[in-house]
Amino acid sequence: MMIVAFGFWAEAKPWGQKLGGPLILLAVAMAASNLGLIPHSAPAYDTVGGILVPLAIPLLLLRADFRTIFRESGSMLGVFLVAAGATFMGAIVGALVIDLGAQEPQIAATVAASYIGGSLNFVATAEALGIKDSSIYVAGLSADAAGAVLFLILLMLLPAFAFVRRAMPSDFFSDSAEVREAASEAQEPEPRPEFKLLHVANGLAISFLVCAVSLWISSIFGLGSLFILIVTAITLLLANFARPLLRHVSAEFEMGTLFMYIFFVVIGAGADLGQVVGQAFPILMFILVMVVVHLVLLVALGRLFRLDLAEVMIASNACILGPAPAAALAASKGWKPLIAPGILVGLFGYAIATFIGVGLAALLS
């Protein structure tokens, strides 16, 4: 918990925002275990993986309301689906070009799910596909973080190419004074909702209930390997068909994030530094191929369908990095109308990425 607290503190710093919380937690926990300060394995670690990870998934997905996403995201949803498809094709090409070893389908699918959704989907897909080796976890997440930096650099370079701007003309690349004014307005913090302990308890109770029902269903029908997918499906049903219930829930996303961060520490603690370095390089090369194919396909399809370059950049960011970075990019560029759609399609990515990852693993097997 001290490492988790340090991770949250670091994320508030400029350098921590660049690295990202999961990577910081992995690095500190891995250093602590390899120096002998904490053990590589312990019964408590199994509890975290077996209980906290399933509980985190409903907490993180309870706001994934498809009706709101479809209604308010506008054309951004279609662009996001193109971006997700480009990632899927990039993963197939990457798996053909780069040798990821005996667990290639599982590793490729897990990383691809992360690059359509986020770290939540990385963990959920890895659990669904039976990846248990901590060194693979840490190597994948480390390569994931490094690949994200490379992707962001390439994405920001897109408008610098004249042929890209001709292929995808956008009204957002003009009027710098208005852009700066919109950016300053977009960065004004929204008021935080009132914290109620009862609502937190309600969220935890719903999460426990979803996991219990999912475990019962998976046991009755012999679907133990699909437990995480069942948890995800039931949560999405609640998010879309039990919205009045969610008025009595708050801070669930923060609680889910806390559980996931504890899990990242456990994963980092279980990793052997020597193994991680060797395993991370091919995964990073796979991500490089996947990202390049993603961007090339986006430009080609963007020209074909006359997509808006600014929308493509935000949708691609939401796909690869998630809703928060997409909103941050839109705000920093002054594209205020794209902030909310970027968040919504990023949440949609969280909802669908684990299913896509499992399907991709089956295709590559």
Residue 245: C-alpha distances to residues 217, 229, 241, 249 (Å)? 23, 22, 9, 8
Which pLDDT belongs to residue 73?
82
- The 10 Å Cβ neighbour count of residue 183 is 16
In whole angstroms, what is the distance from residue 54 CA to residue 348 CA?
A: 19
**pLDDT greater than 70 at residue 189:** no
**pLDDT greater than 80 at residue 20:** no
Q: Is residue 183 part of a domain?
A: no
pLDDT band at 190; cut points 50, 70, 90: low
The count of structural domains within the chain is 1
Q: Is residue 189 part of a domain?
A: no
Which of 10-24, 85-99, 191-205 is modeled with the greatest confidence?
85-99
Which pLDDT belongs to residue 276?
67
DSSP single-letter state for residue 65: -
- The CA angle 16-46-323, to the nearest 5 degrees, is 35
**pLDDT greater than 90 at residue 355:** yes
Q: What is the mean pLDDT of the chain?
A: 86
Residue 215: C-alpha distances to residues 108, 121, 208, 237, 350 (Å)? 27, 19, 10, 16, 21
**pLDDT greater than 60 at residue 269:** yes
With beta carbons less than 8 A apart as the criterion, state whether 56 and 252 touch: no
Nearest to 314 by CA among 152, 160, 188: 152
Q: Is residue 306 part of a domain?
A: yes
pLDDT band at 74; cut points 50, 70, 90: confident
**pLDDT greater than 60 at residue 258:** yes
Which pLDDT belongs to residue 282?
92
In whole angstroms, what is the distance from residue 317 CA to residue 163 CA?
A: 20
Average pLDDT of span 237-244: 90
pLDDT band at 176; cut points 50, 70, 90: very low
Which pLDDT belongs to residue 81?
95
Average pLDDT of span 256-269: 86
Radius of gyration of the chain (CA): 20
Average pLDDT of span 201-207: 96
Average pLDDT of span 18-23: 74
Q: Is residue 128 part of a domain?
A: yes
**pLDDT greater than 70 at residue 135:** yes
Which pLDDT belongs to residue 183?
44
Q: Is residue 7 part of a domain?
A: yes
With beta carbons less than 8 A apart as the criterion, state whether 155 and 317 touch: yes
Least confident interval from 113-117, 337-341, 352-356:
337-341
User: Where on the phi/psi map is residue 13: left (φ > 0), alpha (ψ -120 to 50), or beta?
Assistant: beta
Average pLDDT of span 252-266: 88
In whole angstroms, what is the distance from residue 170 CA to residue 311 CA?
A: 8
Q: What's at 81, amino acid-wise?
A: L
Which pLDDT belongs to residue 332?
66
Which of 32-41, 120-129, 172-181, 206-215 is modeled with the greatest confidence?
206-215
Q: Is residue 192 part of a domain?
A: no
Which pLDDT belongs to residue 225?
72
Which pLDDT belongs to residue 139?
84
Which pLDDT belongs to residue 191?
58
**pLDDT greater than 50 at residue 6:** yes
Domain with 203, as residue range(s), is 2-12+25-34+56-170+199-364
DSSP single-letter state for residue 98: S
Helix H or strand E segment including 2: helix 2-11
In whole angstroms, what is the distance from residue 3 CA to residue 14 CA?
A: 18
Which pLDDT belongs to residue 26?
81
Q: Is residue 71 part of a domain?
A: yes
In whole angstroms, what is the distance from residue 249 CA to residue 201 CA?
A: 8
Q: How does 104-139 read in b/e, with b if 16+ C-beta sit within 10 Å?
A: bbbbbbbbbbbbbbbbbbbbbbbbbbebebbbbbbb
In whole angstroms, what is the distance from residue 77 CA to residue 82 CA?
A: 9
- To the question of pTM greater than 0.85 for the whole model, the response is no
**Percent of the chain scoring above 70 in pLDDT:** 92
Nearest to 125 by CA among 146, 147, 141: 141
The structure tokens listed for 92 are: 């197939």
In whole angstroms, what is the distance from residue 303 CA to residue 297 CA?
A: 10
- The 10 Å Cβ neighbour count of residue 160 is 8
The structure tokens listed for 58 are: 């409903």
**pLDDT greater than 80 at residue 180:** no
**Percent of the chain scoring above 90 in pLDDT:** 38
Average pLDDT of span 21-27: 81
